[in-house]
Chain A
Amino acid sequence: QKEVEQDPGPLSVPEGAIVSLNCTYSNSAFQYFMWYRQYSRKGPELLMYTYSSGNKEDGRFTAQVDKSSKYISLFIRDSQPSDSATYLCAMSLQGAQKLVFGQGTRLTINP
């Protein structure tokens, strides 16, 4: 079993839809949870990060962490074609430089 599981998709939705992306994990010691966005032929870039459980909102993006269920989510409201990319979840132990990534979900927003 992988330490972090993420559905690779692909996921295709119409413009304006609410998108939900999810990851599950097995290591209860993870403390920091991140979402990276990767456009085609580019390196990943950090979208959001949260510490421990709870919600964090940034514009159209909301990250949720449920440590009791070992489940994290990223919601995108009013999705735009420019949101089309691969979204990777990542996690780490407190103070660690070792990030563990999910395999990424490829998302397409159709105009």
Chain B
Amino acid sequence: EAQVTQNPRYLITVTGKKLTVTCSQNMNHEYMSWYRQDPGLGLRQIYYSMNVEVTDKGDVPEGYKVSRKEKRNFPLILESPSPNQTSLYFCASSSSLAGGYEQYFGPGTRLTVT
């Protein structure tokens, strides 16, 4: 089954404790992105990647890191999480063949930072 998977689905952590949210897709897509979704603000792009080793900042990259060492994986790293990073996070992938506009989203990771 074609899908984007994220782990963990739920995470409660404390300020300053480094964490990684994994994202993996099995559709051989070139493009991958991370978004956060907050009430009243909608979906905002954090980082995106056009291919392996090619990443760029989205609209809200501060406090986040990403890497794309393999085509299928695009982990999101919070080096020192803070309470304002409490949010619902989505990973998405899309194919360059289709113009990249149809993004397939994962199920989301709900992160709480206390």
Complex contact B43–A88 (CB within 8 A)? yes
Contact partner of B102 (CB less than 8 A), chosen from A42, A43, A49, is A49
- Say yes or no for B74: interface residue by CB 8 A criterion: no
Size bracket of the B interface: 20 to 34
Contact partner of B33 (CB less than 8 A), chosen from A45, A49, A97, is A97
Complex contact B50–A103 (CB within 8 A)? no
- Chain A residues lying within 8 Å of B41, measured Cβ to Cβ, are 103
The residue of chain A having its C-beta at the shortest distance from the C-beta of B42 within the complex is A103
Interface string of B86-114 (1 = CB under 8 A from A): 00001010100001111111111000000
Complex contact B42–A46 (CB within 8 A)? no
Contact partner of B107 (CB less than 8 A), chosen from A8, A34, A42, A98, is A42
CA distance A88 to B4 in the complex (A): 20
The residue of chain A having its C-beta at the shortest distance from the C-beta of B40 within the complex is A103
- Say yes or no for A101: interface residue by CB 8 A criterion: yes
The residue of chain B having its C-beta at the shortest distance from the C-beta of A45 within the complex is B105
20 inter-chain pairs at a CB distance below 8 angstroms, sorted by A residue, are A8-B40, A34-B101, A41-B108, A43-B4, A43-B90, A43-B107, A43-B108, A44-B105, A88-B42, A88-B43, A97-B94, A97-B100, A98-B45, A99-B33, A99-B103, A101-B35, A102-B42, A103-B41, A103-B42, A104-B42
